[in-house]
């Protein structure tokens, strides 16, 4: 399964706190904001669903949290992905827009 869209800057910031959201560590206002976003954003909704399944799998195994080494590797990987996306150039077409066919001069 692939993430349907490329994360926006807002999504990248939200993804960094997704674990805190799933663990119930956000303020009520921030939690509501995250919930609204993941319901409307396919990218973040997919990431939240994946993280929920991962956490559920760990809990089934009787471990409340993954081993510290796994958590550190995961956090490092998330930071690297967010940084890579932040540095990726955005293509912007600066050419003059064409007049539509219905507009004649």
Predicted confidence (pLDDT) per residue in 35-61, tens digit: 999 999 888 888 899 988 988 887 777
In the structure, what pLDDT confidence band is assigned to residue 27 with cuts at 50, 70 and 90? very high
62-104 confidence digits (pLDDT tens) = 756 778 898 899 889 888 888 887 777 766 666 666 555 454 4
| Residues 38, 4: Cα–Cα separation, whole Å | 13
1 within some domain: no
Give the Cα separation of 32 and 92 in Å (integer).
33
Do the domain assignments include residue 103?
Answer: no
77 to 2, 45, 83: CA distances (angstroms): 17, 19, 10
Q: 38 in a domain, yes or no?
A: yes
Structural domain of 73: 9-87
95, part of any domain: no
Contact 43, 5 (CB under 8 A): yes
Q: In the chain, pLDDT over 90 holds for what percent of residues? A: 16
Structure pTM?
0.51
Position 92 in a domain: no
Overall number of domains in the chain:
1
Q: Is 15 exposed, middle or buried (0-12, 13-18, 19+ CB in 10 A)?
A: buried
Q: Is residue 104 part of a domain?
A: no
């Amino acid at each position: 399964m692939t993430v349907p869209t490329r994360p926006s800057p807002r999504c990248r910031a939200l993804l960094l706190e997704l674990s805190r959201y799933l663990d119930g560590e956000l303020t009520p206002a921030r939690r509501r904001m995250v919930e609204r976003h993941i319901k409307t954003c396919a990218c973040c909704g997919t990431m939240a669903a994946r993280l929920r399944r991962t956490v559920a799998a760990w809990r089934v195994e009787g471990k409340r949290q993954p081993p510290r080494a796994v958590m550190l590797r995961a956090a490092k990987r998330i930071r690297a992905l967010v940084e890579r996306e932040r540095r990726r150039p955005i293509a912007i077409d600066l050419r003059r827009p064409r007049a539509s066919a219905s507009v004649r001069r």
